[in-house]
Amino acid sequence: MLHGKHFLFVPGPSNVPDRILRAMDRPMIDPRSSAFPELTTSLLSDLKQLFRTDQGQCFIFPSSGTGAWEAALSNTLSPGDRVLAPRFGMFSHLWVQLAERLGFHVDVLDEPWGDGASTERIAEALHQDKDHTIKAVLLVHNETSTGVTTSVAGVRDVLNEQDHPAMLFVDGVSSIGSLEFAMDEWGVDVAVTGIQKGLMLPPGLGLLGVSPRAMTAAASATSPRAYFRFDTMAESNAAGYFPYTPALSLLFGLRESLTMLLHEGLERVRERHARMAEGVRRAVKAWGLPLCARSEALYSDTVTAIRVPGGFDARTVIDLAFRRYNLSLGGGLGELAGEVFRIGHMGDINELMVSGAIAGSEMAMRDVGIQISAGSGVAAAMEYYRTTSPAT
């Protein structure tokens, strides 16, 4: 039997702080009482700060991020509508798959896993669309499966340069609440996220930021939707309620999460994640192993995907880390299965927690015979953390 605290370093769900656990550990209340709107109103107001939108409308659905994907598409598009989607990892692939299952025509721009979305190929596709039949571009901001972050601002610039009216939909599931995200500034029409990563909560809520333009599109879109209706949710939210029984415990936790993030300051949150990530990357460099991300400009600050040497199976490393050292690491997904393991470094983390994950990864790799020097990665991360200053 393993003792001590479990080290959870998968790229979501992330560690849930004690403050949030305590906030959720409370009796149920009446979600139809006259006191309930105070909670709803405060959540929706602070979510606008999280998404960084003044004009957009925020929604909270009881679902995972996948439900938020569906809500984004089904509310704003009509059957047969054409969308453009770069695909460069498992989660961009799954969003494409969901869009196709909902009856939309998806123009897929495939990129090697480890690259990001190609703005050049997006520009060419938009340029060729003379009749503006492409209604939306679907972009995964941070591809969790490969540890790659794509510039949302760069894709918005392409849309503007091509003078194309397509809406910009962004999956921010592993970025919002951890990385820089600026919905209004970047011209994002629908941003989606879940609560189990940067927001440090158990899974169960899908969050959306929706621009006025996307709300206008929702008024005339004809895709079937029932549970995930913007109009029904907006009508209830306006009075401080929800159209169906809300996930009360998670709402209490979300209230505490937003308080913590906004008190720390979103810029400091971003700086903290960047610092934790750099320590991990220095450890990987000391091990002499390559990252999945193909260039420094693409490196994610919430998850690092590490390639194991040929002849080794990353799944064995992951299993040993879990069974022998009580450490959970992320596995390779799709075509990367067995080729990479992933260290998630988002949410409620600090230098010593990350250093423990690096140490456990080192031991598991050495156990399977990967030739790395004992303590090399820990030492590299330790020196970086020791000689640099955290955000204050």
Residue 374 sits in which domain range?
7-14+265-387
> DSSP code of 298?
G
Number of domains in the chain: 2
Residues 230 and 340 in one domain: no
Residues 60 and 108 in one domain: yes
Measured distance CA(343)–CA(141) in Å, rounded: 18
Residues 25 and 61 in one domain: yes
Which domain-ending residue is among 218, 247, 263?
Answer: 263
Residue 392 resides in a domain = no
Q: Map residue 87 onto helix, strand or coil.
A: strand
- CATH number of the domain at 141, please: 3.40.640.10
Per-residue pLDDT tens over the stretch 311-329? 999 999 999 999 999 999 9
Residue 2 resides in a domain = no
**Better-predicted residue by pLDDT, 386 or 3:** 386
Determine the pLDDT at residue 3. 81
Per-residue pLDDT tens over the stretch 58-82? 999 999 999 999 999 999 999 999 9
pTM of full prediction above 0.95: yes
Residues 326 and 255 in one domain: no
Per-residue pLDDT tens over the stretch 132-180? 999 999 999 999 999 999 999 999 999 999 999 999 999 999 999 999 9
Residue 61's beta-bridge partner residues?
206
Residue 206 resides in a domain = yes
In this structure, what token pair is assigned to residue 109?
Answer: 């721009």
Residues 210 and 171 in one domain: yes
Residues 344 and 248 in one domain: no
Measured distance CA(188)–CA(177) in Å, rounded: 16
Measured distance CA(297)–CA(275) in Å, rounded: 15
- CATH number of the domain at 353, please: 3.90.1150.10
Which domain-ending residue is among 263, 294, 315?
Answer: 263
